[in-house]
Structure 1
Amino acid sequence: MKIGIQTNIWSQERHEKDLDGLLRDARAAGFDGIEIGAHRVDLTQPDALRARLAQHGLQVSALHIHGDLADADQAIALAARAQVVSAFARHIGAPYVALSGKPREHKSDDDLAREAQLLNHIGYVCSANGARLLYHNHYWEIENDYRELRYLVEHTDAARVSLLLPYAPSDRSHPGIGTERLADPERAFLRKSERGW
């Protein structure tokens, strides 16, 4: 796959009522693959989705899941969901499960420790099912001099958790104030990180 698109640009209604049309449009626009939210597909029917993808000449690069990683109750549910989603990913040939957290005011070090522990566990679960976990960041992880992202880099196992960094500070702004999507999002954070990825 050379280039894919995240299907979030289309509505939930389009996913539910016209997934074939959505896939046809993605292919017609020149995309080879898609990243799609796991909540947008029937996780009990991998063969049906695989057939639809083949019909349109598409692959799934990643299935996306999300949740509040610092919340103990949600963490248990998210770990169980990751098991189902990564098994589904294996069946449809998707190499990645992308996961994003939720913002929380005044996240404590204990909250971050729970997040890192959960990411390591989910990374193991995904790996056991033949998929790779990608942590997909948002603006809040890079606020306060990368506090959250730095913690996750320092406390997650690079063999289990990769980073997908669509958000990084603009060179023209101050970290935590303005953000933009960058063509090469790693460049800003890599200057500050020792992690080789």
Structure 2
Amino acid sequence: MARPLSVQLYTVREALAGDRDGVLRRIAGLGYGAVEPFQPTADPKGFRTVADDLGLTVSSVHAMDLLGDAPGEVFEAAATLGTDLVILPAGIPDEDFTTRDGPARAADLLNGLAQQASSYGQRIGYHNHWWEVEPVVDGKHGLEALAELLEPEVFLEVDTYWAYVGGADVPAVLERLGDRVLALHVKDGPGVKGEPHTAVGAGTLPVPQILAARPEAWRVVELDECATDIFEALGESRTYLTSLEGA
């Protein structure tokens, strides 16, 4: 892999709330080399110190606070954490992906945030769920329609599981989106809404083909819900993904 395998920390949110440093230590102990925080403004200096001590890189950050009154605080926190990739993980109305003119509203929001981010040396990205992919207008998934309207510096972190649930041929979509995709959320499961995820490699997704479609992107493991022990699932996911190294 060109980059260390990362973990979206929402995966371990319950354990993280009680023992941040211990959770980071367990993730490093499983062999992961990076993490993706979802609350970057919560003690970024302390987080960076612990991550550095454990040899963990911050691949990117998720930040709903980008939609608040002080997005600059998010950009400053991201810089402290050591990344220039700041991702809006949700918050755009679902209906903006269901009509011809809806993606333009979403693009205006993201392009505006990108202008603000640039003054901090940061880049803005967007992370999808199924509702940006499920609607098809003029033969294009909503996410693809959005991508065509984004400024070049705005990137996508494609959640491959939710794209699959939304009905996409995920490798084909990734091929069409091309260099716009800088990161992938890699997850697995039954491929239906409302069911818990599995360790990567234990579900229905065509993971090797997905990874081969964007081999240079950050690979970020996320399991929103899991029926088994979450740390065991993370360990199994890393073992599987490492076996596909070079995919």
In the alignment, which residue of structure 2 is the partner of 1:3?
A: 5
SS in 1 for 2:37: strand
Equivalent position to 1:163, from 156, 161, 164: 156
Q: Distance in 2 between matches of 1:196 and 1:4?
A: 19
1:74-131 deviations in Å (ceiling 9; x for gaps): xxx6164432111111122113112122474544555432211110011222222122
1:43-83 deviations in Å (ceiling 9; x for gaps): xx33222111122221211110238xxxxxxxxx6164432
| Identity, % of aligned positions | 27
Q: Distance in 2 between matches of 1:81 and 1:87?
A: 11
SS in 1 for 2:88: strand
1:16-35 deviations in Å (ceiling 9; x for gaps): 22001110011001011100
Q: Distance in 1 between matches of 2:122 and 2:12?
A: 25
In the alignment, which residue of structure 1 is the partner of 2:211?
A: none
Structure 1 unaligned segments of length 5 or more: list them.
68-76
In the alignment, which residue of structure 2 is the partner of 1:48?
A: 46
* TM-score using structure 2 length: 0.60
Structure 2 unaligned segments of length 5 or more: list them.
181-247
Contact 2:103 2:149 in 1 (8 A): no
Q: Distance in 1 between matches of 2:126 and 2:106?
A: 11
Q: Write the letter of the residue equivalent to 1:133.
A: I
Equivalent position to 2:77, from 88, 93, 101: 88
1:121-177 deviations in Å (ceiling 9; x for gaps): 112222221222221111111112344213311211012x1111123755xxxx94x
Contact 2:94 2:132 in 1 (8 A): no
Q: Distance in 1 between matches of 2:113 and 2:20?
A: 28
In the alignment, which residue of structure 1 is the partner of 2:36?
A: 35
Equivalent position to 1:60, from 54, 58, 61: 58
Contact 1:62 1:94 in 2 (8 A): yes
Contact 1:79 1:118 in 2 (8 A): no
SS in 2 for 1:165: strand
Contact 1:139 1:179 in 2 (8 A): no
Q: Distance in 1 between matches of 2:145 and 2:68?
A: 20
CA gap 1:19/1:165 in 2 versus in 1, 3 angstroms: same
Higher-RCO chain (CA-CA 8 Å, sequence separation at least 6): 2
In the alignment, which residue of structure 1 is the partner of 2:172?
A: 188
Question: Number of paired residues?
Answer: 172
CA root-mean-square deviation: 2.8
SS in 2 for 1:143: coil
